[in-house]
Chain A
Amino acid sequence: MKKMTINGMVVQVEDHWTILEACRFYGMDIPTLCYREGLSPGGICRLCVVEIGKGERTKLVTSCNYPVEDGLVVRTHTKRVIRARKMLVELLLARCPSSKTLQDLAAKMGVQRVRFKVKDEKCILCGLCVRMCEEQMGAKAIGFAGRGKERRVTPPFDIKSDVCRNCGACMYICPVCQLRCQGPEPPGVVCGACLNVEPVCLQDNDDVMCYLDTCGWCYKMKKR
């Protein structure tokens, strides 16, 4: 067992856990996109970042693949972390506004605008389908090709794969394929149908006071 600090709480964690597993065990929600239990972590979307370290020497790391350490100090909802998560969601929305998963994340985090030119991609390159096909279905029919902005998920030579069994697992696990958002109508990008407020306490503190789902209750109390 190892001992570490999460959001000020000193906790015991299993040796083989990642920070994400430890946080979720203790009921702290960290948003993820390219992570699914049962598949190897991707480290791709970077939404699960948390701030580790003390004082001036802190840095952001992805909690899905960072192994727990003795004495590690972790904070899951700091100014830097929230700013990063919001920008990442904004970038992803600009790429793929038709994904309900992304729109829900945006709503939860209070992302209300997209300042980039909107594209209409149908894939966020999270790699879940590739990992699903390889690790769960043992087929390796699809993979990544190209690099940078030409990066895409495709079967070899962009034609139907010989080893694809049409199992549909890739579609099942895809955060974009799953649910199409009903919300955005051109020219809008952000759906905003289930909008949440930004944690107000961040105006005064470097850490959010409740890392469970933000509800704005403290703000309402303050206003009374």
Chain B
Amino acid sequence: MTIEIKTAKMDTVRNTFGHIARRFGDKPATRYQEATYDIAAQTNFHYKPLWDQDHELNDPTRTAIVMEDWYALKDPRQFYYGPYVQSRARMQENAESNFNFFDKRNLAAKLPDGIKENLIKFLIPLRHAEHTANLNNMYCTAYANYCTAVAQATLFEAMDRFGNAQYYSRIGLSLDGNTGDSLVEAKAEWMNNPIWQGLRAYCERTLTIDDWFETFIAQNIVLDTLLDNLYFEQYDVWLSEHGAGDILMLTEFMRERSKESHRWSDSLIKTVVNESDQNADQIKSWISTWRIRAQQALEPLATGLLSEDALAEAYAALAGRLKKIGLAD
């Protein structure tokens, strides 16, 4: 015997909002669609920004990239606010559990000699690079505000990177017994050690870029791909081989999040590149400029962290990614 719960059927007057129906047809819409498409102000702005009289408040011409329809840059993860925080809440629960495990069993004390110093010198300073990534993605959010599909994704990226910065800080606290000494040391490394100055200069430079899409390229495509490979592929292996595999629990969040985020940024760039030759050429030009700068910036770091061959391997990873998103050399 089947049981059917009957609910009263009511005919709807319409299926969705006008702008959604014009875009997707007259049918019920998804929550991602209703939350994202065509909700940003487009026209008839009342005042010019005092801080930029050459543009409107929401203005696609703040970038050299041109899209017929910016909403083509849909997030394949379909993150609007709800799914985004819920996804990160699940991930932070795992991270929390990992940190608790590490701390309760005093795994810091069990690390082989020299590892703690290595981490403070090479891993913890990444918190400052993540801080830059937070700022750069906020920059994109502020200026891509005419297209919520892009602005919300860069906002989520910005908050993620801030979360990363805090997790790297917590690793430091796990290593120094909550004194904060490791963070002071790591900052001194970031500020003074020659191996970090290239990256620090690169970070400072990205914060002065004008075109927000160029910022996106310099940060999310060029730099992140290289650092991800160095740290989450090569350094991971090095840590395991040197008896410090426990640390991988503490960087799990950063690693997994990055992989997931690349699904979005890959899709975004691919769509922009496919739109027009001008877009493709512009992006290639930016990549060409920033990969050279990144090369200079990361040489000492990669060598110090791993070996002289490490950066080349990272560049191979970058080349692979660029090929995947339609930017083969």
A interacts with B: no
**Could you list which residues of chain B lie within 8 angstroms of chain A, going by C-beta atoms?**
none
